[in-house]
Amino acid sequence: MQAEQISLYYRDGGSDKVYHAQLEQKDEGWVVNFQYGRRGAALQSGSKTAKPLAFAKAKVAYDKIVNEKLGKGYSPGADGALFQGNSLEGRFTGIVPQLLNAIEESEVARYLADERWIAQEKFDGHRRLVRATAEEAVGINRRGLAVPLIQEIADDLARLGLELPLTLDGEQVGNVFAMFDILEAGGQDLRETPLEQRLALLGAVRERIGAAPRPAGGIYAVRSAQSRDEKQALFDSLRERNGEGIVFKERGSRYVPGRPASSGHHLKYKFVADGTFKVAALNPTRRSVGLAVLDEAGTWRPIGNVTIPSNQEIPALEDLVDVSYLYAFPGGSLFQPQYKGKRDDLAPAAASMAQLKYKPAGGEENEGGDEGGNEGGNENPAGDEREGRA
């Protein structure tokens, strides 16, 4: 048994982050502590262990967070090169998507009214870029790793006869590739081209392949709402049918890989729900608790876990807590839950199953860490400690 520590780095676009982790002895047991944040700035800190554990359990917790960070692109090299020196290095393509910062509901009206911004639907699937050359066509996930391209999408690429090399940005929802941007066409890099010009190319592809997804799957070119009335109609339609959310993109913006430190030229708003739940379980090796809801028969039903932020106290068993989330899976868990705090002013009946907002039909549950543009999935690509959003 011996103490361990590691420093990992992540540099991508506007991100330059550091993550330190330590496996340390404390009292009669072992703890796992961490510090994270922007390199050169004051770091936030926390612990993966609410109390000292036996060495074997603490070691499992330590190895898990290290492997999670390596899997998200962190590397031990101080230059922060993505996936450098780990088992995923061979799959890294060097092509990563532009990621979006979220806005609050109070800000939505501004972007709906401002003619400098266009709007697109925010999809609930797996973030994908598609890179096609004369030799091969591959999918690329939000971390820049090569992934298999499903056959329907590959067939459509061949059928459309688009000029190669080609790089497309979009969201894979089942066997449909919802394409919302074109980054390269005929070998010409379009990332520095203003968005409205890239969308003109997208519109031409849309005319060629049709305006709606085909039942058999394949490539679907996403429509962009341009005017104030079009954006408002899109927003109202998405909300009415329980869509995931809406994306706003500035007309003249360039395509910048990675996520900006704040704000940005591509923004998203998600239609989240709020709920009250009972704490039904404590997870000793993580800052998370198990949640439950009360069904019509008076039985407490598990509804998944939520992570407690490092700046908040972990609630006790039987406490009622407020959690925001995107939607609930029937008979399953909450998707992208965020802990809001304890409630001491409500009766247990407030944690009713009747309050749940369920997953809309036709969506896809997201693979871990595969969120980005008009995307679903993990909110936290570079791997800081807001795990409740995963």
* Whether residues 222 and 142 fall in one domain: yes
> pLDDT (tens digit, 9 = 90+) per residue, 190-213?
999 999 999 999 999 888 887 777
Would you say 350 and 276 are in contact if contact means Cβ atoms under 8 Å apart?
A: yes
* Whether residues 260 and 285 fall in one domain: no
Evaluate whether residue 365 is within a structural domain: no
> pLDDT (tens digit, 9 = 90+) per residue, 339-360?
999 998 888 989 999 999 887 6
In this structure, what CATH number is given to the domain that contains residue 19? 2.20.140.10
* Whether residues 207 and 292 fall in one domain: no
3-state secondary structure 164-196: CCEEEEEEEECCEEEEEEEEEECCEECCCCCHH
* Whether residues 238 and 282 fall in one domain: no
* Whether residues 49 and 159 fall in one domain: no
* Whether residues 110 and 257 fall in one domain: yes
3-state secondary structure of 126: strand
pTM reported for the whole predicted model: 0.70
Mean pLDDT across the stretch 34-41?
A: 91
> pLDDT (tens digit, 9 = 90+) per residue, 80-132?
778 887 778 889 998 999 999 999 999 999 999 999 999 999 998 889 999 99
* Whether residues 209 and 279 fall in one domain: no
State residue 383's pLDDT score.
Answer: 37
Report the domain count for the chain: 3
Per-residue pLDDT band for 13 (boundaries 50, 70, 90) equals low
- Which residues span the domain enclosing 70? 4-91
Evaluate whether residue 320 is within a structural domain: yes
Q: How many CB atoms lie within 10 A of CB 249?
A: 27
Q: How far apart are CA 157 and CA 15, in angstroms?
A: 33
Say if residue 77's pLDDT is above 50: yes
Q: How far apart are CA 220 and CA 172, in angstroms?
A: 10
* Whether residues 250 and 133 fall in one domain: yes
Q: Which of these three, 239, 270, 301, is where a domain ends?
A: 270
In this structure, what CATH number is given to the domain that contains residue 225? 3.30.470.30
Evaluate whether residue 372 is within a structural domain: no
The DSSP 8-state label assigned to residue 134 in this structure reads S
Evaluate whether residue 113 is within a structural domain: yes
Break the chain down into helix, strand, coil percent, rounded to 5. Answer: 20, 35, 45
* Whether residues 33 and 162 fall in one domain: no
Q: Which of these three, 62, 91, 120, is where a domain ends?
A: 91
The DSSP 8-state label assigned to residue 218 in this structure reads E
Q: Which segments within 159-287 are labelled E, that is strand?
A: 166-173, 176-185, 188-189, 218-221, 245-250, 266-270, 273-283
Evaluate whether residue 298 is within a structural domain: yes
Percentage with pLDDT > 90 across the chain: 57
Say if residue 361's pLDDT is above 70: no
In this structure, what CATH number is given to the domain that contains residue 309? 2.40.50.140
Q: How far apart are CA 102 and CA 301, in angstroms?
A: 31
Evaluate whether residue 371 is within a structural domain: no
* Whether residues 187 and 261 fall in one domain: yes
Evaluate whether residue 17 is within a structural domain: yes
Q: Which of these three, 252, 270, 288, is where a domain ends?
A: 270
Evaluate whether residue 181 is within a structural domain: yes
* Whether residues 16 and 35 fall in one domain: yes
Q: Which residues pair with 36 in a beta bridge?
A: 19, 44
* Whether residues 125 and 58 fall in one domain: no
